[in-house]
Structure 1
Amino acid sequence: MEVSQIEQLSPTALAYLGDAVYELYVRSYFLLPPKRSRTYHNLVVAQVRAESQAAQLLALEPYLTTSELEILRRGRNAAAGGPKRVDPKIYQQATSLETLMGYLYLTDPNRLTQLLARLELYPPT
């Protein structure tokens, strides 16, 4: 995809892609040691829920560039509605993280890898 095409994508489209990128990373992270299918599922769901994504975003923010912070802002502003079980602010933060993940996946995979490596993923207690 060319830069001009990527720039035409809405924050919602980037978040859609970023959601998949983030979940794939989390799934890969918990893959070893081998576990039962249900355990994989529980570990991943605990990390990809909006509350966990919002917490990850707060931990990553000090490492983000000005342009990355702008992508977050666009994603946050595009997050409308959301599930009723989640505070709208939390949902906006999670969506902005997904927007950044989608954007970096398309534009700078090396930077995406750097940021993903900074995530602090823990099994639920």
Structure 2
Amino acid sequence: MEKSIIDLMAGIKENWALPDVDVRTYSPLVLAYIGDAVYEVVIRSLLVGRGNAQANRLHKEASTLVNAGAQSASLERIKEELTEEEMQVFKRGRNANSATMAKHATMSDYRRATGFEALMGYLYLTGRTERILELAKKGLEED
């Protein structure tokens, strides 16, 4: 899976002639925007990879894993594994001023989830999909 994600971003850049941009200059909310989608693809791929199932059931299961509370819990499981650079990206995302908030989440869970998504986005845009998968796996492990 990681190769296909890398190929996808490379193909998008090539087909639309997008310039190389320093990802460190991106707003943490932009990183969270793409990171949310990347993490969703990881979770959906995991669920679909387990075998054929009803789409409604897959959606319900994905929803339990891709929400502010679950992402906040995942962050707590991986926090000690983060490099200094990754922790800085997470903190930028966590501290970003978002105009919205999740309906069914505490403010602290929502902010940690935004930081988690920013980290996923940063790793994706810097081509570190193997690290995304490593952290996602660790974050999904039961305590």
Fold match (TM-score > 0.5): yes
Q: TM-score range by the shorter chain?
A: 0.7 to 0.9
**How does the TM-score come out when normalised to structure 2?**
0.77
Q: Which of 1 and 2 has greater Rg?
A: 2
**Total equivalences in the alignment:** 121
TM alignment of 1:68-83, pairs within 5 A: 68-80=86-98, 81-83=100-102
Q: Counterpart in 1 of 2:53?
A: 35
Give the gaps of 5 or more residues in structure 1: none
Q: Counterpart in 2 of 1:105?
A: 124
TM alignment of 1:1-125, pairs within 5 A: 2=20, 4-31=21-48, 32-80=50-98, 81-107=100-126, 108-120=128-140
**How does the TM-score come out when normalised to structure 1?**
0.88
RMSD (Å) for aligned C-alpha atoms: 1.7
Looking at structure 2, the residues matched to 47 and 75 of structure 1 have their Cα atoms a distance apart, in angstroms, of 19
* Deviation readout 1:46-96 (Å, 9 max, x if unpaired): 111110110001001111111111111100011434134321111001000
Question: Which piece of structure 1 moves more, 110-119 or 87-96?
Answer: 110-119
CA contact (8 A) 1:21 1:105 kept: yes
Looking at structure 1, the residues matched to 129 and 29 of structure 2 have their Cα atoms a distance apart, in angstroms, of 19
Return the letter of the residue paired with 1:105: Y
Give the gaps of 5 or more residues in structure 2: 1-18
